[in-house]
Structure 1
Amino acid sequence: MNRSKTSTGLSGLSALVYSTDTGRICPDCSQPVASCTCKSIPVVSTSSDGVVRVSRETKGRAGKGVTLVKGLGLEGDALTTLAKALKAACGSGGTVKDGIVEVQGDHCDKVIAYLQGKGWKVKRAGG
C-alpha cells in the first residue's frame, strides 16, 4: 500500500492554539490574540436605497426566529453601535453579519418603531 500520497495522519488537523511566549493564538491568522489582524476587518453594510427593511427569518436556525434589519447603509462602528441600541431596545441578543443586523426573537414591531423614532424610512419585508 502506497502511503506517501494520502498519509497525512492527524498532523494535518493540528494547529497552534497557545504559545508560552505570546499566550493564545488566533486560529484564523495565526497571530497572538492581542495583535490579531483578522478581527479588525471592517463591517460593511449592504447597499442602501434609502429604505430600511425589517423582516423575520427562521431558516437555518433550528426553528428559532430572528429579526433581520437590512439596508441601513452604515459601516463599521456606526453599524455596530446601532445594532447594540436595537438589541437594548428589544431586550434581546443579536449580532451583525455581512452588514445585516440580526436581533434574536420576533421583534419586528419594536425595531420598526425604534428606527422610525430615529428618523429612518422603514418597511416591513416578507409577510
Structure 2
Amino acid sequence: MDLQDQLKNLFPDHVPEETKANKKEKPAYWLQDAPILCKYEKRKGKPVTVLEGYNGADSDFKKLTKDLKTYLGVGGSFKKDIIIIQGDYRDKIMDFLKGHGFRVKRVGG
C-alpha cells in the first residue's frame, strides 16, 4: 500500500488539486503564424531594436512590450504595432521570443 492509498483511506472525501504537471498552460501571449521581424536601427544617433509584425490584441501587445523591457532591464515603447527597445538586443530578444513560441525573423545586418 503506497502513500496515496493510505491518504485516500484516511481522507475519503478529499479531492486532490490538479498539479502544474497535469494542467496544460495556455500561452501568455497570442501566437501568430507570421514571423515577427526584428531589426536594428539608429534613431537620433542612438541604437534601437525594432520589432514589427505582431498583430495580436492591444493587451497582449502591451504585455509583450512590458515583459521584454523587464527581461532586458531597458526602456522602450510601443506605437502603431511597432515595439521599440532602446539598445541593440536582437539576439536576446530573439531568444526570448523563441522561448515563448514565436517565430522570429532577423532583418538587416
Instruction: Specify the TM-score bucket, using the shorter chain as the normaliser.
Output: 0.5 to 0.7
Contact 1:89/1:110 (CA < 8 Å) preserved in 2? no
Residue matched to 1:80: 62
CA separation in 1, counterparts of 2:59 and 2:107?
25
Q: CA RMSD in A?
A: 1.3
CA shift digits 1:21-78 (9 cap, x unpaired): xxxxxxxxxxxxxxxxxxxxxxxxxxx76111101111xx221011011111112111
Question: Superposed, which structure 2 residues align to 1:1-127 within 5 Å?
Answer: 50-58=34-42, 61-127=43-109
Runs of 4+ with >2 A deviation? none
Query: How high is the sequence identity, in percent, across the aligned residues?
Result: 38
Higher strand share: 2
Which amino acid in structure 1 is aligned with residue 88 of structure 2?
A: D
Count of residue correspondences: 78
The alignment's TM-score, normalised by the length of structure 2, stands at 0.67
Which ranges of structure 1 fall in alignment gaps of 5 or more residues? Answer: 1-47
Which amino acid in structure 2 is aligned with residue 123 of structure 1?
A: K
Greater relative contact order (CA < 8 Å, ≥ 6 in sequence)? 2
The alignment's TM-score, normalised by the length of structure 1, stands at 0.58
Which ranges of structure 2 fall in alignment gaps of 5 or more residues? Answer: 1-31
